[in-house]
Amino acid sequence: MLRPGLPAPFIPRVDAQSPWSSPWQVADRACDGSNGGDNGGDSGGGDNGGGTDQPPVDTTGWPKPLVENNRAYRNNTGHVVASYFVEWGVYGRNFPVDRIPATNLTHILYGFVPICGPNPTLQQENPAGYSALQSQCSGKPDYSVVLHDKFAALEKSYPGDKWDDPIRGNIGQLMKMKASNPGIRVLPSIGGWTLSDPFFHLANDAARRATFVSSVKTFLKTYAVFDGVDIDWEYPGGGGANTGLGSSSDRTGYTSLMRDLRAMLTQLGQETGRTYELTSAVGAGPAKIDQVDWQQASTYLDYVFAMTYDFYGAWSGELGHHAGLNPTAQSIHEGFTGAEAVTNLMAAGVPADKLVMGVAMYGRGWSGVTGGTVDNPFTGTGGNKIAGTWEAGVLDYRQIESAFQGGASGKGANGFVYYYDTQAQAPYLWNASRGELITYDDVRSARAKADYAKRNGLAGVFSWEIDADNGNILNAMHEGLGHSPK
């Protein structure tokens, strides 16, 4: 992996059909076991939109059938099977809520909810997105959560919507999806790679923290489709997109934030008669784990989503499996694998039954690799980023499978040869003649990760991000957990 604390570069997404004059959707996968993002969100205000006083949801046409290669499974083990759904996926990716394989998920994490206040990282990396956020924050206090892309979240129309529906868009669709799949939990994920700046300013300030927690409560009351909150602070202690932020005091701040959110969710549950969950997506590298008092913080959390991917990527010339499960003799950095991350988090105080292991529904790739052998690129050095699906260096699994692997069981295509590292439990595709390398999770490695989670008493598995899969990765996650087909 890259040197600890060195962030992956931010790269704008360019999705078609955005309502903004220049797209504000942004790259969301960081390094050191992170993957975040920075868009999306929801209003901290009380403008209709799904509160408990809303009329019954019209579920005509729901539940939606599974699409692509998704197959129905029984969750006969009770494990968490979660995935992130990104707000901006409704544009160029053409992945609206009705394509989510809801019957195969226990949790959907809706990314991402921004926070008003100091957001210099967003301002620098995505001026259009920053302007949109400033507009949404007008009249609201700093450290409140707000909508980012209001059109995608609340206004975009879908079949069955009526012009006078008080809420449409993603959240309206999620309301219908959940009404027809009542067992699923839907959580808004606050923060991400370029939207984490406000956390550093509010976590250790009691007044600011109170403003934030209060706004989250209002948000959950306003949009009752949500069942709690997911915090994606990248990262307590520093090492995120904004290299100027982070200090040792974040250790206390993170715990205080989780404590106050848990107290609020308990109180809200008493008011509504519902049970709300508190989860957190966390960096999986040793340096990130060490910055949090997990012995204390985990007592407030229902689940800890360990981002066991992005251990290596083309932000650096270092080559390695970006989502490998086990270390190998060629591993450059200790602790940069899924199994090591789980071991380190448990040693730090996270109970196994709260840990959820991350599966990548995407790959990372280099071009211009030099020094590798015909069958082993990892002895070489990476060059530039390979051409990606939506951003340089990052490829959706569906594209990897069809264009470079030659099918789910393929042995390579278009000059690439498929390899599987049985020690790392990680696949890679290598085009030796062109010096191009792709490292990713496939069906075999996703199954191995889920099997590892089951054998080691973990809560389950989750994935980033659902629109990048054609169903084969999610199917493999179920199979690894021992779930039987319906």
Other beta carbons within 10 Å of 77: 14
Has residue 389 been placed in a domain? Answer: no
- The pLDDT profile of the chain, 486 residues, written as one tens digit per residue, is 222 222 332 222 223 333 332 223 333 333 333 333 332 333 333 333 345 455 689 999 999 999 999 999 999 999 999 999 999 999 999 999 999 999 999 999 999 999 999 999 999 999 999 999 999 999 999 999 998 899 999 999 999 999 889 999 999 999 999 999 999 999 999 999 999 999 999 999 999 999 999 999 999 999 999 999 999 999 999 999 999 999 999 999 999 999 999 999 999 999 999 999 999 999 999 999 999 999 999 999 999 999 999 999 999 999 999 999 999 998 999 999 999 999 999 999 999 999 999 999 999 999 999 998 888 999 999 999 999 999 999 999 999 999 999 999 999 999 999 999 999 999 999 999 999 999 999 999 999 999 999 999 999 999 999 999 999 999 999 999 999 999
Q: Among the options 234, 391, 401, 436, which is catalytic?
A: 234
Residue 140: name the closest of 47, 215, 202 by CA.
215
Query: Which element (helix H / strand E) includes 259?
Result: helix 250-272
Has residue 29 been placed in a domain? Answer: no
The predicted structure's pLDDT at residue 53 = 53
Has residue 15 been placed in a domain? Answer: no
The residues facing 83 across adjacent strands are 108, 463
The structure tokens 């699409």 sit at 67
Dmax (CA) for the chain in angstroms is 64
* Burial grade of 206 (CB within 10 A; 0-12, 13-18, 19 or more): exposed
Has residue 161 been placed in a domain? Answer: yes
Distance of CA 291 to the CA centre of its chain: 20
Has residue 60 been placed in a domain? Answer: no
Q: How far apart are CA 395 and CA 177, in angstroms?
A: 28
Other beta carbons within 10 Å of 60: 9
Has residue 390 been placed in a domain? Answer: no
The structure tokens 């002895």 sit at 379
What secondary structure letter does DSSP report for 151? I
Residue 233 structure tokens = 């602070």
User: For the domain that residue 204 is a member of, what is the CATH number?
Assistant: 3.20.20.80
- 234 in active site: yes
Has residue 446 been placed in a domain? Answer: yes
Has residue 464 been placed in a domain? Answer: yes
Q: How far apart are CA 481 and CA 483, in angstroms?
A: 6
Domain span at residue 90 reads 80-361+442-480
Q: How far apart are CA 157 and CA 93, in angstroms?
A: 17
Number of domains, the chain: 1
